[in-house]
């Protein structure tokens, strides 16, 4: 990863990635660089409560400034501050999820979502809240419409394992709206409100989620059914690809990045001797030895706790077996939708899987686009190069959609 960490914001890799991710939201209005660096710069490496408090307090302060601006009639200032507050409180949710106690998790999430909803209300944008049907309940969705007449191409954004709606705003929605797309964001099973408010975990067969979402979207006025495209961010790269193995209505899709086997990002941290126990079916010994290792490495224990929560499994062995179900090897060949797959240099979680996924699809289906450290675009989801990412992936989508036959039926 030459040059990838030439500028480091924390000696703790997860924190460094968190700061990079938040700073990368500045072009879309969801961060102000100075206030971020001032808030987190003094937190010690092993001060986990301090790390959480820095993000929570920053988000709270900015939300209070937004409230004050709103009361005084300064809508633009209020909207900008609500969006930044939502992004900072989303980072606080991630920090809270790794604490020993769950006490701060739900209140912090609710503060994040309240800031987001206040931004939606004050943004001046055309946003409709949709209740998306899903197996006896609903998923919360936000349909953003670009101004102007006529049916529009519409982008559906699918989040990663721990991403908040602000991740999708900065990751793709803002850029898509600037280019005249409508755009839909939603929480799926195991994500954000659906996990924390409804207790519904992830599921590997994401077509059971995406197909009813598309059914509802296509009923909305102004959505051109021939020009619906998908964007999967982080682990959303798995979910979108999995759904496309059986859901063939979208005209094109972007995976940022490609993910074939989710479990590889977990198993590389597990000693081979323990994986051997799992292969033998000795779950008791696996759980025993994992528990010992977690006691010796509190940092690893915090990461595991944070990442395991949405899978809804009890115990180390059961969790890892659940994660192994998120695997595209047997279905990638069924994808018929044109794919653009990002491949950042220094991908931390699924190195090489973008190219691997492309090789598993039929010839001509997938195109891989590299992002390099030399252009400031290294690391998972190119966190400091989201403007460059917008240019490459949305230009590609524009070109794919330009080739769609818009001749009226029967003409």
Q: Which helix (H) or strand (E) holds 168?
A: helix 165-168
Nearest partner of 136 among 215, 212, 192, 203, judged by Cα:
212
Return d(Cα 275, Cα 253) in angstroms, integer: 35
At what angle are helices 283-296 and 298-308 packed, to 10 degrees?
130
Where do the DSSP E strands lie in 51-136?
126-134
How far from the centroid of its chain's Cα atoms is residue 97's Cα?
16
Inter-residue contact 58 to 34 (CB < 8 Å): no
Distance CA 108, CA 96 (A): 8
Catalytic residue check, 234: yes
pLDDT confidence bin for 115, thresholds 50/70/90 = very high
Is there a contact between 154 and 182 (Cβ–Cβ < 8 Å)?
Answer: yes
- Position 411 confidence tier, pLDDT thresholds 50, 70, 90: low
Cα distance between residue 104 and residue 101, in whole Å:
7
Tokens (6 digits) for 300: 């690893």
Reported as a pLDDT band with limits 50, 70 and 90, residue 46 is: confident
Residue 51 has a CB neighbour count (10 Å cut-off) of 26
**Residue 305 CB neighbour total at 10 angstroms:** 15
Share of the chain above pLDDT 90, in %: 88
231-258 pLDDT, tens digit per residue, is 999 999 999 999 999 999 999 999 999 9
Sign (positive/negative) of CA torsion 54, 55, 56, 59?
positive
Which of 268, 257, 287 lies closest to 356, judged by CA?
257
**pLDDT bracket for residue 222 (50, 70, 90):** very high
Domain ranges of the chain: 12-124, 126-262+326-402, 264-324
Share of the chain above pLDDT 70, in %: 97
| Active-site residue, from 28, 69, 193, 234 | 234
pLDDT, position 4: 46
| Reported pTM | 0.95
Question: What local confidence, expressed as pLDDT, does residue 2 receive?
Answer: 37
pLDDT of residue 306: 85
59 vs 86: CA distance, rounded Å? 7
Topology (CATH) of 12-124: de novo design (two linked rop proteins) (1.20.1440)
Please report the pLDDT score of residue 1 as a whole number. Answer: 36
Residue with tokens 């409709």: 128
What's the confidence (pLDDT) of residue 144?
98
Q: Could you tell me where the DSSP H helices lie in 280-411?
A: 283-296, 298-308, 316-324, 353-360, 386-402
The sheet carrying 182-186 orders its strands as: 126-134, 137-145, 182-186, 152-158, 223-233, 252-256, 339-344, 366-371
Residue the block writes with tokens 């999820």 = 97
Q: Assess whether pLDDT exceeds 70 at residue 261.
A: yes
CB 238 within 8 A of CB 232: yes
Q: State the fold for domain 126-262+326-402.
A: Rossmann fold (3.40.50)
Q: What is the mean pLDDT of the chain?
A: 94
Say if residues 392 and 369 touch (Cβ distance below 8 Å): yes
Q: How far apart are CA 189 and CA 186, in angstroms?
A: 10
| pLDDT level of residue 410 (50, 70, 90 thresholds) | low
Task: Identify which of 249, 311, 247, 321 has the alpha carbon closest to the alpha carbon of residue 281.
Answer: 321
Token pair 């659940």 in the structure block, residue? 322
Which is nearest to 176 in space by CA: 390, 401, 406? 390
- Per CATH, 12-124 and 126-262+326-402 having the same topology is answered no
127 strand-pairing partners:
144
Helix (H, G, I), strand (E, B) or coil at 189: coil
What is residue 6's predicted lDDT score, i.e. its pLDDT?
60
């Amino acid at each position: 990863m030459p040059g990838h960490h030439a500028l480091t914001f924390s000696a703790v890799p997860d924190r460094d990635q968190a700061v990079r991710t938040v700073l990368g939201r500045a072009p879309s209005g969801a961060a102000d660089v100075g206030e971020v660096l001032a808030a987190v710069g003094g937190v010690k490496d092993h001060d986990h409560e301090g790390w959480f408090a820095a993000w929570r307090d920053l988000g709270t302060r900015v939300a209070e400034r937004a409230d004050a601006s709103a009361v005084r009639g300064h809508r633009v200032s209020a909207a900008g501050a609500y969006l930044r507050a939502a992004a900072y409180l989303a980072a606080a949710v991630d920090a809270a999820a790794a604490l020993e106690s769950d006490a701060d998790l739900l209140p912090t999430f609710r503060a994040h979502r309240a800031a987001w909803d206040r931004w939606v209300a004050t943004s001046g944008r055309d946003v409709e809240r949709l209740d998306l049907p899903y197996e006896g309940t609903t998923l919360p969705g936000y349909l953003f419409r670009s101004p102007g007449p006529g049916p529009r191409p519409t982008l559906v954004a699918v989040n990663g394992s721990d991403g908040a709606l602000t991740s999708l705003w900065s990751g793709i929605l803002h850029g898509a709206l600037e280019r005249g797309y409508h755009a839909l964001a939603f929480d799926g099973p195991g994500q954000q409100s659906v996990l924390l408010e409804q207790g519904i975990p992830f599921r590997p067969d994401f077509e059971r989620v995406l197909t009813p979402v598309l059914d509802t979207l296509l009923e909305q006025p102004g959505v051109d059914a021939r020009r619906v495209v998908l964007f999967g961010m982080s682990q959303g790269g798995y979910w979108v690809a999995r759904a496309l193995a059986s859901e063939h209505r979208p005209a094109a899709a972007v995976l940022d990045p490609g993910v074939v086997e989710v479990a590889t990002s977990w198993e590389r941290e597990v000693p081979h001797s323990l994986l051997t126990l799992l292969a033998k079916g000795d779950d008791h010994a696996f759980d025993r030895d994992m528990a010992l290792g977690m006691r010796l490495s509190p940092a690893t224990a915090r990461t595991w706790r944070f990442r395991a929560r949405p899978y809804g499994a009890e115990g180390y062995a059961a969790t890892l077996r659940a994660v192994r179900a998120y695997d595209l090897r047997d279905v990638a060949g069924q994808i018929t939708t044109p794919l653009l797959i990002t491949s950042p240099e220094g991908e931390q979680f699924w190195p090489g899987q973008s190219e691997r996924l492309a090789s598993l699809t039929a010839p001509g289906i997938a195109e891989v686009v590299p992002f390099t450290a030399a252009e400031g675009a290294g690391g998972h989801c190119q966190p400091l190069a989201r403007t460059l990412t917008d240019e490459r992936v949305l230009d590609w989508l524009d070109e794919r959609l330009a080739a769609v036959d818009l001749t009226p039926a029967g003409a």
